[in-house]
Structure 1
Amino acid sequence: MTNFIPIFPLAIVVYPEEQLNLHIFEPRYKQLIAECIKEGKPFGIPAVIDKKLNEYGTLVEIVKVEKAYESGELDVSTRGLRVFRILEVIRKVPEKLYSGAIVNYPDNHHRGSVKLQREVLKAIRELHHILQVSKSFALPDESLRAYDLAHHAGLSLEEEYELLHLFHELQRLEYLKRHLHKVIPMLTEMERLKDRVKLNGHFRNLSVDNF
């Protein structure tokens, strides 16, 4: 399916089913959001990386207006729907302040692997333990997908974007697994180094058997 959507480019990656809160203050996006609320239609958030608009993004719907300010600014909560690919950017939309895009929606396969998902989730919790970060998930463990876990895995913006245009759940889980198996040993070694630095200059009781 191909259609036109209004776009709200941001320097973030949004995933399907993700809950995202936005503060709307620019006139063009106040107009965009007002029209989406009035007409009950979604809009697109394509990822901007290094000031470049990328071809993939996520269609989102407005769930609730959390607060409306006298200035016309808004706090809105949104939810990611599906990944789109930009075919053409429409910079100037007649009688609109915002831009739009002609997009299509790649097939997205959500069948994964219970074993692989558990391995990734275990590694994420190990990562959080090393970093002394406390995180909880809104869904039960068995319901978590790669999209739910990606923002918790310590990916860079570029890596989050790479995962966005992987269209098989197994690919996404494997991507997270490789990333975590790479960074966890590095962080563990850094923690050991910190411990060695802390010991430097302190009195230590050292002994070696048989000498």
Structure 2
Amino acid sequence: MTNFIPIFPLAVVVYPGEVMHLHIFEPRYKQLIRECQESGKPFGIPSVLSDKLQDMGTLVEVAEIVQEYQNGELDIRARGLKVFRVLEVIKKIPEKLYSGAIVSYPDNNVDMGNRMLMQKVVHGVKELHRMLNVSKDFRKSEEELRSYDVAHHAGLSLEEEYEVLGLMEELQRQEYIRRHLEKVLPMLMEMEQLKEKVKLNGHFRNLSAFDLDIDV
């Protein structure tokens, strides 16, 4: 299936099911959000990497206009719906300030994937947060968590988050994040050990001498 959607390109990756907060200040996007909110229609957020519009993005809906300012700016809550692929960008739309795109929606497997693998991923993410002294409430039980729920919290770069967006199987996404954590966690462990060594430097330490029974 293909259709036309208004687009709001951003240097972010949005996942299906994700709720994000946006401050809308540009006239073209104030118009876009107003029209989508009034009509109940969604819009697309295609990712921008290195100042270049990418092929993949996520269809989102305006969940709530949180605040309206006197100058017309808006704070909104948007919710990710499904992944799309840009087929053609329409830069100029009659009587509109914003651009649009013709998009298709690839088949995306959002089942539970491999639960044992997902448990390893969740454990790895929690260990990452422990090392970084970060607290995160996923507002779901571990059994309900999927790759999209944890991808933003696994220490991925924007480019890596975008690669996850392009994976259309839950099992592939889980495996991608697991491999990433396998690389990152040992490095953080070394950093923790180094930090402890640095803390000891310059301090008096109570060390027992090693008793050598040496014949002279």
Fold in common (TM above 0.5): yes
What is the Cα deviation at residue 210 of structure 1? 4.0
Equivalent residue number for residue 109 of structure 2 = 109
Letter in 2 for 1:135: K
Q: Give the TM-score normalised by the residue count of structure 1.
A: 0.97
Equivalent residue number for residue 8 of structure 1 = 8
Q: Please give the per-residue CA displacement for 1:127-160, whole angstroms capped at 9, x wherever unaligned.
A: 0111111111121211111000001101110000
Equivalents in 1 of 2:124, 2:66: separation in Å? 35
Equivalent residue number for residue 33 of structure 1 = 33
Equivalents in 1 of 2:78, 2:139: separation in Å? 16
* Percent identity between the two aligned chains: 64
Segments of 5+ residues of structure 1 without an aligned counterpart are none
SS at match of 1:122: helix
SS at match of 1:110: coil
Letter in 2 for 1:116: L
What is the Cα deviation at residue 208 of structure 1? 5.1
Equivalent residue number for residue 77 of structure 1 = 77
Equivalent residue number for residue 196 of structure 1 = 197
Give 1 or 2 for the bigger CA radius of gyration.
2
Equivalent residue number for residue 147 of structure 1 = 148
Equivalent residue number for residue 60 of structure 1 = 60
Q: Give the TM-score normalised by the residue count of structure 2.
A: 0.95
SS at match of 1:186: helix
Equivalents in 2 of 1:206, 1:136: separation in Å? 42
Equivalents in 2 of 1:151, 1:209: separation in Å? 49
Segments of 5+ residues of structure 2 without an aligned counterpart are none
Equivalent residue number for residue 134 of structure 1 = 135
SS at match of 2:94: coil
Letter in 1 for 2:185: I
> How many residues end up aligned between the 2 structures?
211
Equivalents in 1 of 2:22, 2:208: separation in Å? 60
Q: Please give the per-residue CA displacement for 1:103-142, whole angstroms capped at 9, x wherever unaligned.
A: 0000001230110111000010000111111111121211
Q: Return structure 1 stretches of 4+ with deviation > 6 angstroms.
A: none
Equivalents in 2 of 1:148, 1:138: separation in Å? 10
